[in-house]
Chains A and B, each alone.
Chain A
Amino acid sequence: MAITKDTVKYVANLARIELTEKELSHFTGQLDRILDYVHKLKTLDVARLEPTSHVLEMKNIYREDKVKQSLPPSEVMKNAPAKEKDLFKVQKIV
């Protein structure tokens, strides 16, 4: 087994997704099969290789630090599931 139910449960919590018991066992089996497949990467010697996180040769992109017009708060807030004035409203955090 590359992955157990407990690991899937742990990772789902990290990802902030609640899973039903059924989903948990279903996903565990499927993820196990996928991880088993990707194990073929272990057959390669990667010790001397640099990772490619990005294909372009990128340097930092700078711009002038100028104030530009941004979207009005009313526009930004219009999709909010709950709001009060120009603030997103959620349950009590602390």
Chain B
Amino acid sequence: MRELNTLTAHELIALLNIGDISPIDICKGVLDAIKNKDAKLNALVHFDENKVFERVNALAKKDGTKALWGIPIFIKDNICVRDELTTCSSKILDGFCPPYNATVIDKLSQNGAVLMGKTNMDEFAFGSSTETSCYGTTRNPWDLERIPGGSSGGAAACVAADEAIFALGSDTGGSIRQPASLCGVVGLKPTYGRVSRYGLIAFASSLDQIGPVTKDVEDAALLLKVISGHDSMDSTSVNKPVPDYPSLIKRDVKALKIGIPRQYFIEGLDAEVKDSMREAIKRIEDMGCVCEDMDLPHTEFAVSVYYLVATAEASSNLARFDGVQYGLRSKQAKSFIDMYKKTRQIGFGDEAKRRIILGTFALSSGYYDAYYLRALKVRTLIKRDFEDAFKEFDAIITPTSPTPAFRIGEKTQDPLTMYLSDIFTISANLAGIPGVSVPCGFTRDNLPIGLQILGSPFDEETILRIAYNYEQNTDWHKKRPKI
């Protein structure tokens, strides 16, 4: 039998159901993998083996209502878990243990999942490489000299390396899909409003969504079903029934109409990524889908809109980190205001400071109309592009990232180059639509390549169905890195 840590949640659930294994066996398998690998990867930031055993031993009896009973899960470090360190990989939240659970955490516990610990991320999710974490970068399990993507780099790396069964990440501009693509796993950003954001430490409130990072599409569907649904604690959560994703995605995809946007095949798109895309499209046509070239005319403006809107919202959201209620406080200050300034000087890393300043600038008197308001108006055009597209197409297929994983340090000196690595993922957040990244190939250097499938709002089912059928026709998701 394969080692338990290498299995998916649905495979483990089948073994648990026939009584071949117990939750403690699974946890032991995962803990062994962590001991062997995480010193090299640095994917985990807060993790306590004793607590994991306590939680497994305290598991309520198995019953039919607990969809994830006995399955271990890792959580990105920006999702609140009661009385557990939740630091957004930032010094300014040093020592912070929230007094409450995020809604997704309560849902996981109600479903019998075992919380393992917290995964590394770019500080406050500001980044595409996990290099801005105050705990140091996570390494890509396929090549330890390369970044795992970001900001949910820890989540993607630990799932890819079989240190985890699956994990929860968050996606504001591609932070689930891009690292999933670069690490060769599946990452889903749900529709804005599908999953409650209560207890997700906010980066950009109109863009953030929590979503699954998994080894295959079926697990993504399983986890999505558990975490979705209306929550009165999040006023932007939408009251729509939650479909039975795991069964619905197994239907066929015949005659689905899929758009391939011309604007995504740009200069700067890696040749091997492009070739993999072409092959994937052929495969999807063989499955019975109809693929057609189409246009998303305002694509080239998405990065500009995003880095004004997201930083503006971030500058406002991060005002709460001032040394008064939690986290770090500077002891050098002479006055109250000085305490704010010095706390934020030592507490925030470079990228957080840069984004807060950019966002404050875009919102400040005299610049508001020219930057922030203009960006919001162009956001309308980007959203309309997708509305028009989904009148004609059931889904849209693009590369997830223009390049495979880049080298550690390669883009840290130039923030703009780093921002451009999100070029294919951020439109989905601006438009609020769901998107999933699935493995679709490898470069000659054995680095994973990801395919992104975008769908219309609240139609996670269709994109997961295409992804599932594609996965059934390929073996990319079965390849694992040797560490």
Contacts and interface: CB of A to CB of B under 8 A. Distances in A.
User: Which A-B residue pairs are the 6 nearest by beta carbons?
Assistant: A55-B432, A51-B376, A79-B326, A81-B329, A38-B304, A46-B377
A40 interface: yes
B354 A31 contact: yes
B236 A58 contact: yes
B325 A56 contact: no
Interface string B197-237: 00000000010000000000000000000000000100110
A66 interface: no
Nearest to A92: B336
Nearest to A44: B378
A19 to B, nearest CB: 7
Interface in A15-54: 15-19, 23, 27, 30-31, 33-35, 37-38, 40-42, 44, 46, 49-54
A31 B355 CA distance: 9
B357 A38 contact: no
26 contacts: A8-B361, A12-B353, A14-B364, A15-B344, A16-B319, A17-B353, A17-B357, A18-B342, A23-B353, A27-B353, A27-B357, A30-B414, A33-B414, A33-B415, A34-B419, A37-B303, A38-B375, A44-B378, A52-B377, A54-B206, A56-B192, A56-B236, A58-B236, A78-B97, A81-B328, A90-B336
Interface in A41-94: 41-42, 44, 46, 49-56, 58, 61, 63, 71, 75-76, 78-82, 88, 90-93
Contacts of B100: 71
Contacts of B304: 37-38, 40-41
B171 interface: no
Nearest to B354: A27
A79 B356 contact: no
A90 B324 contact: yes
B368 to A, nearest CB: 11
B135 interface: no
Contacts of A11: 357, 360-361, 364
A41 B376 CA distance: 11
Interface of B: 95-97, 99-100, 192-193, 206, 232, 235-236, 238, 300-301, 303-305, 307-308, 315, 319, 322-329, 333, 335-337, 339-342, 344-345, 348, 350, 353-354, 356-358, 360-361, 364, 371, 373-381, 383, 414-416, 419, 430-432, 457
Contacts of B457: 55
B387 to A, nearest CB: 11
Contact of A34 (B337, B350, B378, B415): B415
B204 to A, nearest CB: 11
Contacts of B305: 41
Contacts of A23: 350, 353
Best-surrounded residue of A15, A23, A53, A80 (most CB of chain B within 10 A): A15
Given A16-B340, A27-B354, A50-B380, 4 more contacts: A44-B301, A52-B376, A52-B379, A88-B325
B348 to A, nearest CB: 7
A30 B345 contact: no
A3 B339 CA distance: 27
B364 A79 contact: no
A18 B345 contact: yes
